[in-house]
Amino acid sequence: MREALDKAGNCGQQPRRTPDVIAYPDLRGFNDKSASPAWAGVRYSIDANGAVRDVTIVARGGDAAFADAAASSIAESRFQPGLARTGCHAAFTARPKITPAPPRPDIKVFDRPGDACTLTREAMNAPETKIFPPAYAKTAVAGWAIIRFDVAPWGQIGNVEVVTSQPSDAFGVAARNLVSSSRPSAPATGYRGCLVPIVYAVPPPLEDLN
């Protein structure tokens, strides 16, 4: 959408045109409808008298009525008199519907004979910032991953494995990176076969590791 909007024009030149009346579209009826919400990019011009002209929908996605509502609101706006401007643009996006994560299995079903780990969440010393999978960050899709790993006596994590993840592998990749960046405390014998669930909730929980 950005490429479609950023075309030649003098709208961004100084002095900028000051809005007299800004008509904001009522887009609430389009919110929370889809994990991939409607969006629209609108280009327009402003004449010397402050009237909006040449309103054009240059990019859209989802419900076509969303783009029409956005364009109509731009057309109803008014600016103070001044130099005519072309290439002005605005972008609108509906709020995505929150998609909860699929049910998570009991982590105990992944236990293996010979594994020995009593690592607590507090002792993980995981990074404070948990990076949400980029492909899902803007679509309000929640997910989780179960990670298995070993810990050396000096705290180094190794043998990091994504046991399972939902709703896609992207959550496993993000969780594996998070665990790999942790610096847990370990006994002199280290740990073997630690299992930890990493949850990506919408909105994010107060605590990263659940």
Sequence-ordered list of residues with C-beta below 8 angstroms from that of 99, at least 6 positions apart, any chain: 35, 139, 140, 141, 142, 167, 202
pLDDT for the residue 97: 87
Which single residue is written with the structure tokens 């960046």?
181
Cβ atoms 10, 87 nearer than 8 A:
yes
What domain range includes position 149? 107-200
Residues 89 and 167 in one domain: no
Do 127 and 54 fall within a single domain?
no
Q: Give the pair of three-digit tokens for residue 36.
A: 């991939």
Tell me if residue 14 falls in helix, strand or coil: coil
Cβ neighbours, 10 Å, residue 82: 15
Residue 69 sits in a domain of what CATH number? Answer: 3.30.2420.10
pLDDT reported for residue 209 = 37
**Which of 148 and 36 is assigned the larger pLDDT?**
148
Q: In this structure, is residue 208 part of a structural domain? A: no
Give buried/exposed letters for 169-181 (b at 16+ CB in 10 A, else e). Answer: ebbbebbbebbee
Calculate mean pLDDT across residues 51-74: 92
pLDDT per residue as tens digits for the range 4-51: 555 667 787 777 766 656 666 778 889 888 888 899 999 999 999 989
Is 99 among the domain residues? no
**Model confidence over 86-95: pLDDT tens digits?**
888 888 998 8
12 lies in some domain: yes
C-alpha distances (whole Å) from 121 to each of 70, 165, 177 are: 47, 19, 16
The pLDDT, as a whole number, for residue 137 is 76
Task: Count CB atoms within 10 A of the CB of residue 48.
Answer: 11
pLDDT score of 198: 93
Least confident of 107-116, 123-132, 191-200: 123-132
Q: Which residue has the higher pLDDT, 58 or 122?
A: 58
